């Protein structure tokens, strides 16, 4: 026998709850791909581009909250996984990466398609291990133990990717015997019971001026959201809800969603000074919130985090509480009856929201109004991936609480603009109506991602804001520096309509706000990939952004 020991490895991962496997074609990974496919119980996907495959697997894992297997061949193939691995690590998304490899005797001798894959991803994985050819005495049991360790590391308090490197010798084609999958099973199947974390903390931290920050958290669920909002009621505390926290699905009066606009007011920032800040999830996208935290660095700052990871770039944290959000919120005994502090935030919220909402009357092509109409037309219980750069910021301003049940996702771990189409298509494997809101540069970074959408007949509506380059730099300090257009704004002049010929997607150039309403509603209810391109002007968008957000 050669590589048949991989069959129990495949079986053990399924026993632990893994249900999806994503492959990229290659010779050295033959046995892995064939054995996963032959098992006939996994949902499998083949993506010819390893970089796209990794982000596609990331999207599946985000949506389904369980590890996804990612298989590639030897050599440079695994290196193409790296961007998605860094994102998975920072966002706590579980992936089990299986990098097929040449055996030890072919290392460092000039063998083709060979690289040193030892700890290929460095500290960006929770666990690394070589799945070696086992001895006769543990031929069927050892692979199961490797699978168990991989699963546990991927699903720990800080979920994340793991790498299992798999050196394989010729012959690469395995013997496909169904009985091999059963080999090495123990009388009592290995299983995991993930319990809720209990916690204790100092109740003296609570005051009548508590501010709750709900940041991006791909792993939070409806129970967590409900518990945080109930805590906000109990403390009479404003809850600043990042759009990727998904608290904005609720119209709760304590939710504040227009903070990034009104926190530009210097006097107001002092009036709203908190005594205690509670952070759940990652730090919010809003730069104004981060500046607000730094301004009030003398406030008690509590991070509630199941893994005790420091996630506050303002570096003002004073108290770490190891707990999930729901357990912490339900454990708080303190109650505050004073509504004065909350009322100040609610007044600012109401006044700013009234101004932001006037964008619906805008006649020029502007991202802000399109976000409002996107939310108004979003299908019930749909989901949307929001790309980084300007799109997540536009959503932060104009995605209003209580207006949609859509679940929003983003790759806010390392905040890259790559992998957007692939991640969104991974999300779409849930079968829910799925939308990608992206900019032109983000779209260009992952055009190969569209291939798996075509080959696997997936459904996705892409709303593309095309301002012909890097519009975000028009909002940043680089604006106006020498060679600004060449170095930062980077106009490209590319024609996205050609993707309809290349990939067979349904393309539509939006020519008005009414046109967008009609074509968007049709697209999200029709199978296939639909690209709705909206052309805007970078400088004009900057002026309109100021018009609606400065008060």
> Domain with 440 in it: what CATH number?
3.40.50.970
CATH number of the structural domain spanning residue 280: 3.40.50.1220
Rounded Cα distance, 506 and 461, in Å: 9
| CA-based nearest residue to 261, from 541, 549, 543, 475 | 549
**Token pair in block for residue 67:** 């590890």
Q: For residue 476, report the phi and psi dihedrals to the nearest 5 degrees.
A: -110, 180
State the virtual CA torsion across 83, 89, 95, 98 in degrees, nearest 10.
Answer: 60
List all residues 6 or more positions away from 98 whose beta carbon is below 8 Å from its beta carbon: 29, 32, 69, 70, 71, 72, 164, 166
Q: 10-residue block means of pLDDT along the chain (551 residues)?
A: 91 97 97 97 98 98 97 97 97 97 91 92 97 92 97 94 96 94 93 78 95 90 94 98 97 97 96 98 95 97 92 94 94 97 98 97 97 97 95 97 96 93 98 97 96 97 94 79 83 94 97 98 98 95 93 66
- 64 and 116 share one domain: yes
pLDDT of res. 362: 97
In a domain, 505, yes or no: yes
Secondary structure of 113-174 in HEC code, one letter for each residue: CCCCCCCCCHHHCCEEEECCCCCHHHCCCHHHHHHHHHHHHHCCCCCCEEEEEEECCCCCCC
User: What is the rounded CA–CA span in Å between residue 95 and residue 126?
Assistant: 10
What token pair was written down for 166?
Answer: 């798999």
Greatest pairwise CA separation for the chain in angstroms: 75
pLDDT value at position 1?
Answer: 61
Per the confidence metrics, is the pTM higher than 0.75? yes
Alpha helices, H only, 236-295: 259-262, 266-271, 287-295
Nearest to 257 by CA among 350, 136, 371: 350
Last residue of a domain, one of 321, 349, 377: 349
Residues 177 and 264 placed together within one structural domain of the fold = no
What was the pLDDT predicted at 439? 96
Do 257 and 373 have their domain in common? no
- What's the confidence (pLDDT) of residue 551? 66
Q: Are 340 and 372 contained in the same domain?
A: no
Question: How many Å apart are CA 212 and CA 273, to the nearest integer?
Answer: 13
Shared domain check, 118 and 42: yes
- Residue 170 shares a structural domain with residue 210: no
In a domain, 477, yes or no: yes
| Residues 52 and 422: beta-carbon distance below 8 Å | yes
163 and 207 both lie in a single domain: no
Residues 57 and 151 both lie in one domain: yes
**Distance of alpha carbon 282 from alpha carbon 313, whole angstroms:** 10
Range of the domain at 269: 203-349
| Single residue among 316, 349, 382 that ends a domain in this structure | 349
DSSP state of 83: H
Nearest to 395, CA basis, from 241, 548, 243: 243
Establish if 169 belongs to a structural domain: yes
Domain count, the chain: 3
Q: State the residue for tokens 């067979």.
A: 504
Backbone dihedral angles phi then psi of residue 540, each to the nearest 5 degrees: -70, -40
Radius of gyration of the chain (CA): 25
Same domain, 178 and 221: no
Q: Which two tokens stand for residue 325?
A: 């959000």
193 within some domain? no
Asked if residue 125 and residue 241 are part of one domain, the reply reads no
In a 13 Å sphere around the CA of 195, the CA atoms on its Cβ side amount to: 3
């Amino acid at each position: 026998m050669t590589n048949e020991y991989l069959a129990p490895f495949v079986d053990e991962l399924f026993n632990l709850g893994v249900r999806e496997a994503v492959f990229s074609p290659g010779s050295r990974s033959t046995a892995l791909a064939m054995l996963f496919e032959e098992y006939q119980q996994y949902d499998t996907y083949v993506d010819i581009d390893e970089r796209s495959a990794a982000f596609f697997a990331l999207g599946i894992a985000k949506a389904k909250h369980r590890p996804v297997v990612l298989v590639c061949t030897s050599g440079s193939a695994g290196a193409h996984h790296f961007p998605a691995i860094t994102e998975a690590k920072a966002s706590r998304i579980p992936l089990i990466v299986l990098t097929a490899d040449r055996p030890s005797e072919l290392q460092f001798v000039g063998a083709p398609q060979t690289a040193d894959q030892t700890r290929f991803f460095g500290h960006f994985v929770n666990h690394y291990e070589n799945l070696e050819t086992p001895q006769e005495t543990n031929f069927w049991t050892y692979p199961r133990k490797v699978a168990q360790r991989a699963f546990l590391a991927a699903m720990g308090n800080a979920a994340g990717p793991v790498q299992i490197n798999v050196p394989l010798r010729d012959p690469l084609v395995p013997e496909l015997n169904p009985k091999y999958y059963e080999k090495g099973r123990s009388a009592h199947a290995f299983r995991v019971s993930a319990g809720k974390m209990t916690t204790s903390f100092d109740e003296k931290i609570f005051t009548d001026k508590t501010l709750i920050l709900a940041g991006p958290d791909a792993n939070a669920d409806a129970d967590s959201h409900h518990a945080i909002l109930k805590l906000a009621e109990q403390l009479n505390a404003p809850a600043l809800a990042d759009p990727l926290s998904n608290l904005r699905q609720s119209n709760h009066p304590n939710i504040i969603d227009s903070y990034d606009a009104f926190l530009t007011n210097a006097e107001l920032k002092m009036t709203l000074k908190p005594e205690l800040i509670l952070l759940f999830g990652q730090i919010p996208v809003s730069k104004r919130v981060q500046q607000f935290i730094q301004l009030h660095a003398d406030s008690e700052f509590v991070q509630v985090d199941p893994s005790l990871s420091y996630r506050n770039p303002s570096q003002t944290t004073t108290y770490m509480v190891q707990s999930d959000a729901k357990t912490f919120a339900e454990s708080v005994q303190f109650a505050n009856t004073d509504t004065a502090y909350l009322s100040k935030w609610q007044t600012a919220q109401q006044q700013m929201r009234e101004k932001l909402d006037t964008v619906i009357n805008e006649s020029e092509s502007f991202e802000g109004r399109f976000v409002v109409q996107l939310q108004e037309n979003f299908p019930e219980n749909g989901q949307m991936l929001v790309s980084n750069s300007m799109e997540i910021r536009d959503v932060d301003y104009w995605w209003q609480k209580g207006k949609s049940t859509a679940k929003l996702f983003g790759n806010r771990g390392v905040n890259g603009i790559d992998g957007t189409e692939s991640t969104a298509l991974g999300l779409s494997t849930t079968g829910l109506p799925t939308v990608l809101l992206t900019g032109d540069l983000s779209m260009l970074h992952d055009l190969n991602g569209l291939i798996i959408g075509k080959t696997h007949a997936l459904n996705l509506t892409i709303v593309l804001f095309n301002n012909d380059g890097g519009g975000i730099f028009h909002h940043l300090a680089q604006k106006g520096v020498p060679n600004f257009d060449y170095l930062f704004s980077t106009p490209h002049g590319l024609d996205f309509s050609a993707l309809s010929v290349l990939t067979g997607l349904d393309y539509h150039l939006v020519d008005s706000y009414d046109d967008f309403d009609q074509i968007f509603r049709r697209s999200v209810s029709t199978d296939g990939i639909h690209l709705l391109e909206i052309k805007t002007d970078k400088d004009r968008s900057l002026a309109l952004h100021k018009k609606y957000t400065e008060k």
